[in-house]
């Protein structure tokens, strides 16, 4: 199957699945970044019936059905706290969503970080299964690629205080990807050097 045929096949499958359906979006932040997702759902024939988000609506948020924003009702939550809240949502959001969708027929659509298979009695599409963490781990995926015979560029995994020592053994460095641990959003929090 060539790339054009593959694209057409996937597009038809998405339209078959989403046509006539309503969705509730489960988002970290409901702002301009949700526009492409909402547009793609509309192109496939779906309607966004509601949004449940950690924050929102922010600048550039698309017009959709009503929203439940934790920043208004539950207080300010970090992303990990929001993910925990999705696993055990308040009675208020359950009642609100059941009022909009009493038959619980809507599909919940999460982000790649959404870690729940169902939300308030509705199946979640796009949820992150716990077993995926194994292949997201740099050291695990490296072993898998090596076993499959896939070459990878020179690299290393090291503690922050070892970076300068270990980097010298890599040879010519064309770029760097760094990651650190934090309780919220990574980047500029002192975890990366």
184 domain-assigned: no
Whether residues 55 and 90 share a domain: the answer is yes
67 domain-assigned: yes
179 domain-assigned: no
Whether residues 21 and 50 share a domain: the answer is yes
Nearest to 57, CA basis, from 29, 97, 23: 29
Whether residues 22 and 103 share a domain: the answer is yes
Give the sheet arrangement for strand 118-119, strand by strand: 67-69, 47-55, 22-29, 107-109, 122-125, 118-119
Whether residues 155 and 104 share a domain: the answer is no
Nearest to 73, CA basis, from 83, 65, 82: 82
Whether residues 26 and 101 share a domain: the answer is yes
Give the model confidence (pLDDT) of 110-158 as tens digits. Answer: 988 898 999 999 999 988 888 887 777 777 778 888 899 988 777 777 7
Whether residues 144 and 77 share a domain: the answer is no
Q: What is the mean pLDDT of residues 173-182?
A: 61
pLDDT of residue 12: 95
186 domain-assigned: no
Whether residues 56 and 144 share a domain: the answer is no
Domain boundary residue, one of 92, 125, 158: 125
146 domain-assigned: yes
3-state SS, 85-114, equals HHHCCCHHHHHHHHHHCCCCCCEEECCCCC
Domain boundary residue, one of 70, 95, 125: 125
**Whole-prediction pTM value?**
0.73
pLDDT at 173 over 90: no
> In terms of residue numbers, what domain contains 59?
3-125
Whether residues 119 and 29 share a domain: the answer is yes
**Token output for 55:** 């924050």
pLDDT at 45 over 90: yes
Total of domains in the chain: 2
pLDDT of residue 121: 96
73 by Cβ neighbours in 10 Å (0-12 / 13-18 / 19+) ranks as exposed
Whether residues 32 and 118 share a domain: the answer is yes
Whether residues 14 and 104 share a domain: the answer is yes
């Amino acid at each position: 199957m060539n790339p054009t045929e593959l694209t057409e096949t996937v597009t038809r499958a998405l339209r078959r699945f989403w046509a006539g359906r309503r969705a509730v979006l489960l988002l970290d932040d409901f702002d301009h970044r949700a526009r492409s997702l909402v547009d793609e759902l509309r192109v496939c024939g779906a309607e966004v019936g509601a949004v449940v988000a950690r924050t929102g609506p922010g600048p550039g948020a698309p017009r959709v059905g009503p929203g439940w924003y934790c920043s208004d009702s539950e207080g300010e939550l970090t992303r990990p706290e929001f993910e925990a809240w999705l696993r055990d949502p308040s009675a208020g959001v359950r009642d609100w969503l059941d009022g909009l969708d009493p038959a619980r027929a809507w599909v919940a659509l999460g982000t790649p970080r959404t870690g729940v298979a169902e939300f308030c009695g509705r199946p979640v599409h796009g949820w992150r299964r716990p077993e995926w963490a194994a292949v997201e781990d740099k050291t695990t995926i490296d072993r898998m690629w090596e076993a499959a015979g896939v070459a990878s560029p020179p690299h290393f995994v090291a503690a922050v205080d070892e970076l300068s020592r270990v980097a010298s053994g890599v040879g010519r460095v064309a770029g760097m990807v760094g990651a650190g641990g934090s309780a919220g959003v990574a980047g500029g929090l002192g975890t990366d050097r």
